[in-house]
Amino acid sequence: MLHLWTSHLHPVPLPEGHPFPAAKYAPMVERLIAEELVAEAHLHLSEPAPLEWIHRVHDPSYVANILEGSLTDAEVRILGLPWSPQLVTRARAALYGTVMAARTALVHGIAGNLAGGSHHAFRDRAEAYCLFNDLAVVIELLRDEGRVRRPFVLDLDVHQGNGTAAIFAGDPAVFTYSIHSEHNYPARKEAGSQDIPLPDGCRDDEYLAALDATVPAALDRHAPDFVLYQAGVDALEQDRFGRLALTHEGLAARDERVFRWLEERRLPVVVTLGGGYGRPLELSVEAHVNVWRAAAAALRRQAVRDSP
């Protein structure tokens, strides 16, 4: 059964009309329960992560500024969210969810976080709604615990995972793969292990062909023992920040491919939510739910495969 962590009970105060999609989280959880993709007993509430975890990746002075709310006006603009104690709690809870899901994935094969994927956070600064880089924290924690040696970040959000790429630049044990909109945020891309830029208006066939041509080969080349799947759905055509033109069917085909590739290689995977800013927002909710449909189907296949 799929285990998921949720932070939706940690609301963040935002000004009216703010583009952060806070309204998508609760209905997504309701859909997952209604479709029996996750049992209520396996839907876990995230709590604020210990500072010790955060300090594994982030500069202590940066963390102190976040906790104290002493960011400059320029830093708040780059973050894109007004500072509040609730924002800090929510960011820490999202990080907690990814860590717990990752530890569970090592046992059950697949687990996920209904938040997280904060791939724009650098060691010493926040960017684009991302305070703490939960992907990087998971990697450092699991490596310190001796449970992971060669992690692979499979970042399929429409925006390049610039923070993650920068954090692990020069670390050959960590592979950072990103397929993203070439002319989208961030304007200055970092150099990841493999970056696949796509043109504006890229549609399903071109996107899936690019995945087919690069992801299996990258997995085989790196030979990872753990995968972090940043499953953002902001490549959807109706996404306000996307610039690509994928359909729900195209995104569902993406997720089916990903889980099949990981199954074939017997690779445990933690799945994070990533971006989704559809107009209307219900379109992103549907795309997010599709990710977990694919994850649940993969777990069912795994159960059949492993049965006596």
Show which residues are catalytic: 120
Start-end of H helices in 134-281:
134-144, 162-167, 204-222, 248-264
How buried is 215 (Cβ within 10 angstroms: 0-12 exposed, 13-18 middle, 19+ buried)?
buried
CA angle 240, 241, 243 (to 5 degrees): 100
DSSP β-bridge partners for residue 176: 153
CB 225 within 8 A of CB 266: no
Distance CA 200, CA 306 (A): 43
* Residue among 88, 107, 93 nearest 2 (CA): 107
